[in-house]
Amino acid sequence: MDIVVLDGHTENPGDLSWAPLEAFGQVTVYERTAAADIVTRIGQAEAVVTNKTPIRRDTMDACKGLKFIAVTATGYDVVDIAAAREKGIVVSNVPAYGTEAVAQAAIALLLEITNRVGHHDHAVKQGRWAAGPDWCFWDYPLVELLGKTIGIIGFGRIGRTTGRIAGALGMKVLAHDKFETDDGRAIGEYVPLERLIAEADVIALHCNLTDETRDLIRAETIARMKDGVIIINNSRGPLINEADLAAALNAGKVRAAAVDVVSKEPITPDNPLLKAENCLITPHISWASLECRQRIMDITARNLEAFVNGAPVNVVSG
């Protein structure tokens, strides 16, 4: 079987092995693939592995040998699923590979806001501590999380894991989700969205992007939040209206925000959050630990093996 990896660099920049896929055929790996090169690179390959490189109907029309598409992510909107279904092309994804890592990253973003570890490390290495008159200094108000309320919007696997960690820090956990579970009730209190927004000292977003949740954080909802609220988003960028959040940060209504995702990625120079006060931005790395990426590789290989054996798993093409 000919297997083509269209954008292997993000999944494996060199610290993993492609051997799990090589067990099933000849693997050709491209670090990145421009739109103009997609069809040529796939050629007559039977299996394609993609992360963000789109595979649309015209590509499937041109690549007659294509039978299997492996998406090395949970989201699979890069593939025209309707076209794949019509053509009998199996599409599999990688569900639930990074629950703990993404929750860990959410808490890391929160702790960076409350303790400003990176900033103070930089200040010390600039010589400011050595040159100062006192035995300590700090540039930001330091925040203790004990007794604070975290409101988690989206209380699936990742949201619940974030809630468990927050609870271990002594925080009260409020949760909002369409689907309430006993596991969730053991971690936090399910409440209507309006109450969560009004009562939370920290709001963490762990929900899917839908028509209902797009621009969930906007001027209208921010106005109903506590003064000095902290907002964390390492879920989906368009959950936040970035201009409205920037305005609230600059006005001091929102104490601080930390985001690992933005509306357009890579971030564009005109993104208003780049110049907003007290806004931390990381480059969509919550998922990217070595352990997570190894898990993606292993699950992708199992998806390919199951397809070869005629019993595909993690199928999202119906």
Q: What is the pLDDT of residues 50-91, one digit of tens each?
A: 999 999 999 999 999 999 999 999 999 999 999 999 999 999
Residue 117, pLDDT score: 98
Domain count, the chain: 2
Q: Cβ contacts of residue 59 below 8 Å, gap of 6+? A: 38, 39, 42
Q: What is the pLDDT of residue 294?
A: 98
**Measuring CA to CA, how many Å separate 23 from each of 31, 98, 306?**
20, 25, 13
**Residue 276: pLDDT band with limits 50, 70, 90:** very high
User: Do 200 and 266 belong together in one domain?
Assistant: yes
Q: Which residues contact 154 (CB under 8 A, 6 or more apart)?
A: 176, 177, 205, 206, 207, 208, 235
Instruction: Identify the band that residue 224 occupies on the pLDDT scale cut at 50, 70 and 90.
Output: very high
By percentage, how much of the chain surpasses pLDDT 70?
A: 100
Query: Based on the domain organization, do 6 and 114 belong to the same domain?
Result: no
Q: Are residues 124 and 76 in the same domain?
A: no
Predicted confidence (pLDDT) per residue in 166-186, tens digit: 999 999 999 999 999 999 999
Cβ neighbours of residue 175 closer than 8 Å, sequence gap 6 or more:
151, 152, 155, 159, 163, 184, 187, 188, 189, 190, 191, 196
Contact of 238 with 265, CB cutoff 8 Å: no
Which distant-in-sequence residues (6+ apart) come within 8 Å of 208 by Cβ?
154, 235, 236
24 & 172 share domain: no
Q: At CA 211, angle to CA 108 and CA 200, rounded to 5?
A: 40
Q: For the domain that residue 232 is a member of, what is the CATH number?
A: 3.40.50.720
Question: Which pLDDT band holds residue 124 (cuts at 50, 70, 90)?
Answer: very high
Residues spanned by the domain of 34: 2-97+290-308
Same domain for 252 and 295, yes or no, is: no
**pTM, 2 dp:** 0.95
Q: How confident is the model at residue 262 (pLDDT cuts 50, 70, 90)?
A: very high
**Catalytic residue IDs:** 236, 265, 284
| CA-based max dimension of the chain | 73
Residue matched to tokens 């409101």: 151
Q: Evaluate whether residue 313 is within a structural domain.
A: no
- Residues 120 and 255 grouped into a single domain: yes
Average pLDDT over all residues of the chain: 98
